[in-house]
Structures are given as structure tokens and as C-alpha cells.
Amino acid sequence: MNKRIFCFMKRTSIIYYLLFAILNLFLVSAVVSAQITVPPTKTSDVTAREFQTQQLLDIQQVIMGGPIDPAQYKMGPGDRLLVRIGGISPEPTMPLIVLPEGVVNIPDVGIIDLNDMTLDQSRELIVSRLQDLYPESNISVTLTSMRTFIVRLTGEVNEPGIRYANATGRVSDVLEQSGGLTDWANDRAIEIRHADGTVDHFNGWKYNNEGGLENNPLLRDGDEVFVPGSNFSQGILSVRSPVNRIGFYQYYQEESVFEFLKRNNFGTINMDFENVTVERTDGTGEITTYSLTLNSANPTLTSFILQSDDVVVMPIFETVVYVDGEVVNPGSYAWIAERSAGYYVSVAGRTTDASDKKKIIVTRKNEKFYGEEIIIEIGDQIHMPKKRHLVVRDWLEFLSPIVSILLAAKAINIF
């Protein structure tokens, strides 16, 4: 009896020890996990800091577009000046910043209002105020840092919103930062709406084609650059083309076909500019077709002036060759310069019935050439003929039933 009790107690002790060990292992794991747990991040704070950092980087990336004209440069909040007073040893200097109200605060002088003043006018005013304190001194005022200001892009731009600029920035600079204009933009009537209520205009098409800084206005504090949509009330032009450019386009008076195609970036598409046509409908509904070309001898594409409701037909310039006959995969293939007829037949795959490659026939317009070494041009048609004895066999198979019918008809005296 005592032996049974002893065994029972021994087994119970072992179980307790095991439970205790498991509990300790669980507690140790919990402590370790608590020590290595990464504290939660403040996502919103990180996002805000990243946004502010990006804004500062954007501001720092605004670089000067060239030297300023002191007679034209208008002072504004954020501009930094340095005043030097010569004739005194040591020579004193005074850094100044134009405050948000458009003024500077000079010690022993007070507030000086620089609103709507040019750099030259500001210099003259500051020197005159300081001359009373330093009558025998040579006083100079230098612009050490230009302010950065906000410009708003609105209208038919791919990425409207806020951009940063300085006094040397021009309209084309911020438009390039907008991801370009939409397909419906009227780039000839872009408005620069100034904070004082005045409006300047920017003809983007003229600037891109003719250049000249006089065609590209400078930006000012608080400008809004507005890109209007196309004004179809002036007239429309239609385009028919095998590629995805079919539709209606803005009409401009005195614009040639070439200028129209250039304005709408048709030059980047694989078009056949030697075979452009324009369809023009008169008042009676009769359609007249004009064939145009860029041929240097008679460049009618550049001289033909469009009218409202004209239809410009743009054929695509084919860059394929055609392979047929005894090939596994007949059809069109992309043209590659300096490749031979034999190359294209190999790409298409010859059948077992195909003749020798020396028998390849290349048709080019109204001419025929023979052999696998012929260098292929765009639009060529390559024919792989069948072996001659197989051609004879095919003819015999075709004629055999006809001959049988004729013999049977003769036997029964049909004719």
C-alpha cells in the first residue's frame, strides 16, 4: 500500500515539474517578445515630414533662368538685401529681408516701404535714407537672394496645381513641369492672370516654333497660368488616318497643312507625308480632293492653306513586306533594312513542297526580281513557288476528273 502511494506521489511530482518548466518557458518568450517589439510609428507624422521635406527640395531646385534687370525686377516678400557702408573702419554691413508686408526694417532708420518698387528704385530709396546717418560714406545695396513664390497651373494641363518659381522663371518653365498640355488645350491663347487683376497672354505654339524670350513672359508672385480649351466656334478640321488619331481638331486661320500636322505632333507617327490629301466640300456639297506632298521640288504640303471643315486624310507609311506561296506562315512581316528575300522566307518557314530558294519571286511595284539574294524594300511581295514536278502533278490531278467526264460523255454519244 505504501509502495503504491509512493509511486503515485512520484508521478505527480514529475507532472508538476513539467508544468512548471512549460510555464517558465512561456514567460521567457513573452519577455523576449516584449523586448524586440518595434514601437508603433506615427504614420501621419512621417507623411507630413516627408511632404514638408519634398516641398523644401522643390523650392531648392528652382534655379535662376539668367541675370535679372534691376530696372525691371520688382521687390517682394522674401528678397534679401545686403547694405555696405564704405568709408568706415571696420566697414559695417546690414543684411535685410523684405518682410511679408513688402517692407524692410533698418536699425536707426525704421520701416521703408518697397511695395511695387524695382530693385533700382529700392536701392535709391534705402541709400537716401541712410545717407543722413552716414553723410560721408559710400553706401551700396546688393540683392543677395531672390524670393521663391507660388504659381498656380489651371485649365487644360495634365498635372494642374502649385509650382514654385522665381523672378527669372518664365511661363514655359512651369508648363514643362505640368506634364504637358492635354489634347484639348489651346496653346495659342494661354493666360497669365496676375494678382493685381491684369492679364498677359502666351502663345505657346509661336514660342515653340519661333523662340525668342520676348514671346515667353516672366512670372510674378501669385500668378495663375490658365490654359484654355480649344475654341471650336472658330471652325474645325477633321482627320482620317489608319492610326488612332482620327477625330476633330482646332482650326486656325492661315494655317498650312504642314503647320497643322506639326502642331498636333503627327510627325512622331509613321505617316506617309508624300501622299497626304485634303478633301474640301463646297457650298453645293461637291467634294474636291487635293493631293499634297513634301517633295522638295513641289512642297505643296507647306503652302496649302486649310479652311474650316476640311478633312485631312493621312495614309500610314507601311513598313512591312508580304510573304506568300509555299511557306508555313504566310502574311506580312516587319521590314528590316538590308535583309534578303531568303531571310523572310526562312522566317515564314518553307513547306516540304517549296522549290529552291533561287526560284523566289520578288514583286516590287510593276517589276519582278528572282533569287534569295534580292535585298528587300518596304512593300515588296515575296512569293515562294512550289517544286515544278509538284505543279505538274497538281495540274494532272485537276485535269484527271475532267478528262474522265469528257471520255464518258463521248462514250455515250453526248457530243
Q: Is 125 exposed, middle or buried (0-12, 13-18, 19+ CB in 10 A)?
A: middle
- Strands (DSSP E) along 176-251, which ranges? 190-193, 199-202, 224-227, 236-240, 247-250
Under 8 Å between Cβ of 361 and 368: yes
Q: What is the pLDDT of residue 158?
A: 92
pLDDT of 98 reads 93
Q: pLDDT below 50 — which residues of the chain?
A: 1-3, 5-10, 18, 27-46, 48-61
**Distance, CA of 177 to CA of 192 (rounded, Å):** 16
What is d(CA 148, CA 210) in angstroms, rounded to the nearest whole number?
29
Q: Which domains does the chain have, with CATH numbers?
A: 80-145 (3.30.1950.10), 149-230 (3.10.560.10), 233-313 (3.10.560.10), 320-384 (3.10.560.10)
Phi, psi for 237 (deg, rounded to 5) = -125, 145
The DSSP result for 118-180, as a single string, is BHHHHHHHHHHHHHTTSTTSEEEEEEEE---EEEEEEESBSS-EEEEE-TT-BHHHHHHTTT-
DSSP string covering 79-107: -EEEEEEETSSSPPEEEEE--TTSEEEET
218, 220, 222, 228: CA torsion to nearest 10: -20
CA nearest 217: which of 195, 234, 194, 235?
194
8 Å CB contact between 193 and 214: no
| Nearest alpha-carbon partner for 189 in 234, 231, 232, 233 | 231
Q: How far apart are CA 88 and CA 249, in angstroms?
A: 69
3-state secondary structure of 344: helix
Contact predicate 310/235, CB 8 Å:
no
Reading phi first (left if > 0) and then psi (alpha if -120 to 50, else beta), residue 145 is in: beta
149 forms beta bridges with 165
